[in-house]
Structure 1
Amino acid sequence: MFDFTLSTSEEICAELGRRLRARRLMQEWSQLELAQRAGLSVGTIKNMEGKGQASLESFVQVVAALGLADDLGELFRIKMVSIAAMEQAEKANRQRAPRRSSK
């Protein structure tokens, strides 16, 4: 099993590329078919799968084309593991009120 916490960013990108390739193959799509469904070039798909290189926008387009967009919903969601974490999350959502105008 791949350990994201002990991996470099390059290793993580390569692993994500491999996983996207595996999902494409499970759906029995060629790289050309995925590229067309995602609105990208075949070269972009090859770079993503082979080298783990793509823009964030291209990555999201491929994820959506593969029907995996719901999986993105849990990324970076703040997990409430304690009351202190809940309080910190609440502070992160707060915004300053506009200044009162002095008359």
Structure 2
Amino acid sequence: MFDFNLSTTPEICSELGRRLRARRLMQGWSQVELAERAGLSSGTIKNLESRGQASLESFVQVVAALGLADDLGELFRLKMVSIAAMEQAERANRQRAPRRSTR
């Protein structure tokens, strides 16, 4: 099992590329077919799958083309563990970041 907490950024990107490749293959699509469905070049798909390199926009286009867009909704959702955490999250949504001092 891949541990995201113990992995470097390039390792995480490569793992995500491998997972997208596996999903593409499960659907029986070639890289060219996925590229057409996502509105990208086949080189972009190749780079994403082999090295985990793509812009965020390209990554999202591929995810959507594979029918995985709903999975993005859970990525950074705040997890509420207590009422105090819920109140703190609500306050955070309404506050501005502190100003930097200009000393």
What secondary structure does 2:73 align onto? helix
State the superposition RMSD in angstroms: 1.1
2-side partners of 1:45 and 1:60: how far apart? 12
Larger radius of gyration: 1
The structural deviation recorded for 1:95 is 5.2
- What TM-score do you get using the length of structure 1 for normalisation? 0.90
2-side partners of 1:29 and 1:38: how far apart? 12
% same residue:
86
- What TM-score do you get using the length of structure 2 for normalisation? 0.90
Equivalent in the alignment of 1:74: 74
| Counterpart residue type for residue 55 of structure 1 | S
Stretches of structure 2 that go unaligned for 5 or more consecutive residues are 97-103
Q: Which runs of 4+ in 1 moved over 4 A?
A: none
1:43 aligned onto 2:51: no
1-side partners of 2:84 and 2:55: how far apart? 35
2-side partners of 1:45 and 1:55: how far apart? 11
CA deviation string 1:80-103 (max 9, x = no partner):
01222112110122157xxxxxxx
CA deviation string 1:26-61 (max 9, x = no partner):
000000000000000000000000000000000000
Equivalent in the alignment of 1:55: 55
Stretches of structure 1 that go unaligned for 5 or more consecutive residues are 97-103
2-side partners of 1:69 and 1:17: how far apart? 15
Equivalent in the alignment of 1:22: 22
Count of aligned residue pairs for this structure pair: 96
Equivalent in the alignment of 2:100: none
